[in-house]
Each structure stands twice: as C-alpha cells, then as structure tokens.
Structure 1
Amino acid sequence: MGTQGITEKDIADFLANTPGFFERHAELLASVQLTHPHSARAVSLQERQAEMLREKIKGLEFKIIEMIRNGQENVAIADRLHRWTKRLMLTAQPAELPAVLTQELRHQFMIPLAGLRLWDVAPEHAGAEFAQAVSQDVKSFAASLSQPYCGVNSGFEAARWLSGEEGAAANASSLALIPLTLGAQPGQSIGLLVLGSPDPTRYTAEMGTEFLSRVGEIASAALSRLAPQNGAGKGAGAESTQP
C-alpha cells in the first residue's frame, strides 16, 4: 500500500485507535528520537515522556504551594477581622465607636487612610465630628450603593473625611466607599465609610467587593448604637404622629 495522501493526522488517528501497535513493535519505542524542549539534542521517547512527567509534577507542586499560601492568607485575614470585630464589641461608649472603628481598621488591615460620616444620629452625638453635615448628593450616592464602590478618586466629597498617615490624605489616589445601613436594604443608609490609599491600584473597579461588604455589615451593626432611639429612625417617629 502506498503512503501517498497519508497525513500526520491519519497516522495519529491510527496509533490512537490501535493500542496494541507498540506492543507488537516494541523496538520502535527505543528507536524514536525527539528534540529536547530545552536544548537542540535528540532524546528517546521514554526520556521525553519522563521529562513531560517531571514538568507535570512540578506544575502540580506549584499549584499546591499556591493553595497553601492562599489558605494561610485567608486565615490571617480572618484573624484580623476577628480582632477588629472584638475591639468594636469591647468599646463601651457609643461615641467612641467611629474613632475606634477607623483606627483599628487601619491598624489591622494596613490601610493608609480611613474616615466616615453618619447622618440622623441621636441628638447627644449631633456635634461630633463623625456627624458633621454632608451634602444631599453624598446621602443619595450612599443610598444608591448595593455594594461598595472601588475606583479612582475623582474628587469625591468623602475623600475630605480621610485621616491617617501624615500627608497621605491629600494624595488619596484610590478609594473604597462602603455604605453603612440601618437595615438589610441598601436604601436605609445611615452613613458612609471611606478607605483611601495613595496607591492608585489599591482599590480598583475590577477588584472583588465581598470582603468590603462584610466590613460594611459589621461596621453598620456596631454604629447602629449611635442612631436615635437605639435604631428607631425618623420613619418610626412619623408613624407615631398619625391619627
């Protein structure tokens, strides 16, 4: 039979569909020579297969190392979140919560800048720095957020609340804006937590926000102690005036 018209695919298909071929022609395995992937020298098929197996094992080792490293990082993050949450729970005076929250957040997670503002707080907290007036645009923006916003600082009003490393507040290139809510719905906003960094890549639009959402939930729960009547908002007061 002639070989004219036979392609490499035909040969490959034949070998794939004829598993006993090399058992009947074992001498071919020793005679096949392949080019070494990292040099110009020729190697036997067995040596090439061994090299491929070593490369596969090395790739699996790298994946295992990466999994271990990710696991260790997750444990470290969980520990920091635990310490931060515990510090909030141990803060006896509600008026001290905003400062403790931002300071410990910066310390535990090595965040250069942090700040927050709350609105509709209890009357005894109305004069505090964290309750200073903000524009209606900020309130509307916070109420519209269903998840934290991450991105460049394009002149956000909230960037002016930042405090932290000396001189860094004026150079906050990237921001994370986290809505603080009194209830489960995003529209029930009571404030806005802002994190900042001089590094423009620290907070980007592409990054995941699940962890920041958890931070917002814990912060909201802690700061709800500053709301009027332990969390009863203006809406509850309005209902009591109805005939």
Structure 2
Amino acid sequence: MTNTTIGVQGITEDDIAAYLANTPGFFERHAELLASVQLASPHGGRAVSLQERQMDMLRERIKGLERRIIEMIRAGHDNEALVHKMHRWTRAVMLARSASVLPQVLIEELKHEFMVPLAALRVWGVATAHTGLPWAQPVSEDLKTFTASLAGPFCGLNSGFEAAQWLAAEGTPAQSIALVPLRLGAASGECFGLLALGSPDALRFQSDMGTEFLQQIGDLASAALARLLHD
C-alpha cells in the first residue's frame, strides 16, 4: 500500500487503513457508507457498492477453495489407484512359482500395472542354476560401476546407455529411460542388478521428475530378487 498523503494535516491512506482495521465498530456506526461507497467492478466498468465488491471477493475466494478441494480429491483418487497398483504388483511378485520365473513375472506385471512400454533387468552374481537365463546374461564392468555409483533412480533421455540395448530387444527404441539400481539391504548396500524402464515418449521419464516411487519399486524388487544370488 502506498503512503499517499490525502489531507492537509498529513493523513495517509495507511493511516486510514490502520484506523479502520483497528476500529471494527466504525461501519456499524456508519452503516450507510457500505451502500454509498462506490468501487469499480473487476467484471466491467460499472461501479458497485462496497458490499457488492466484498461479495465478489468472497465468491472468488470460494471458487479458489473449491478448485483446491477438487485438486485434493483428484490427487487422493490418484494416490489410492497407485496404492492398489503397487499392491497387485507386489502380490504377483510374491506369488511367483519359482525363483527362475520371478524376474519375468516382476517385469511383466510392472509393465501391466504401471503401463510402462519397455522394461528389462539384469542381475549379476546369481546362483549357478540361473546363469543361463536371459536376465542373468553378463554385463560390462562399466555398467556395474555406473550402477553402483547411482545414489538413487536415474531418469532422463536415452543417451546410449548399455541398458537401453536390453529394451531395444523388444523392437521399440526408448527415447526416455529410468534406471533403478538393485541393492542388498539399505540404499548403501552392495549393488547386484539394474532395472531399466523405457518409453518411446521422450517426456515419460524426465530428469527433473520425482523418483521416490521408483525408489520404492527398486526396494521391493531388490528384496524379491536377492534370493537369486549365489549360494
């Protein structure tokens, strides 16, 4: 608010505003002012009373609150749907018939529940019984080093990652990619695999997107796949 002088004695708009704010009985004693004061309407050039202007402001505030409530309800529905998807995926993984089919179940159910177009994984250091399976194929030492260096899931454009070659085997090139390290125990535990998610949409996995949900996926996948490791 500007400190405009409106009187010969130096009374300012701030002084008037402070007086009205600290004197709530003023408009009770001078109720006629509420109807006689004319203000410009924000919805046109016509003049409205102070009461009408206050009603307009109240309506706008109510509309803003309604929008926020609708957004909260929508977010609540989205979160509920996500919880159900996570529950179904986790249940399917836990019900996998054997360790050898577990990775395939994990991948297929992940693609189905979360509508991920492309998904693949590699696990290293597996038990001898699993060494010939597709998800246990050898990976480069560079990829192992890169995966171990990830503090959390990586999201961004596909810039020629080795893991993108696993996704390309499905016939559709990945434009964006998410790489989720698999670790034993806590986030700082030994790294034993990598889960790769991809999409032909370059905006699906962006570098500035939140990764908390992907981290949860990685934690659950790590717990399930750890039983595939060496005897």
- Normalising by structure 1, what TM-score? 0.87
- Given the alignment, which residue of 29, 39, 60 partners 1:24? 29
| Structure 2: runs of 5+ lacking an equivalent | 1-5
| Structure 1: runs of 5+ lacking an equivalent | 230-243
What amino acid maps onto 1:106 in structure 2? K
- The runs of 4+ residues in structure 1 deviating greater than 6 Å are none
The residue that corresponds to 1:232 in the other structure is: none
The residue that corresponds to 2:96 in the other structure is: 91
The residue that corresponds to 1:178 in the other structure is: 180
- Given the alignment, which residue of 102, 105, 118 partners 1:100? 105
The residue that corresponds to 2:138 in the other structure is: 133
- Given the alignment, which residue of 227, 230, 233 partners 2:229? 227
The residue that corresponds to 1:145 in the other structure is: 150
The residue that corresponds to 1:203 in the other structure is: 205
Q: Tell me the distance in 2 between the aligned counterparts of 1:136 and 1:11.
A: 75
- For 1:215, what is the secondary structure of its paired residue? helix
Spell out, residue by residue over 1:139-164, the C-alpha distance to the aligned partner (whole angstroms, 9 max, x if none). Answer: 11111222111111111111111168
Q: 1:143·1:186 contact (CA, 8 Å) conserved in 2?
A: no
- For 1:179, what is the secondary structure of its paired residue? strand
Spell out the pairing of 1:115-134 with structure 2 (5 A cutoff): 115-134=120-139
- For 1:117, what is the secondary structure of its paired residue? strand
Deviating more after overlay: 215-224 vs 2-11: 2-11
- Number of aligned positions between the proteins: 225
Per-residue deviation at 1:23?
2.1
- For 1:158, what is the secondary structure of its paired residue? helix
Identity %: 61
Q: CA RMSD in A?
A: 1.7
2:16 is equivalent to residue 3 of structure 1: no
Spell out, residue by residue over 1:21-67, the C-alpha distance to the aligned partner (whole angstroms, 9 max, x if none). Answer: 22222211110111111111111111111111111111111111111
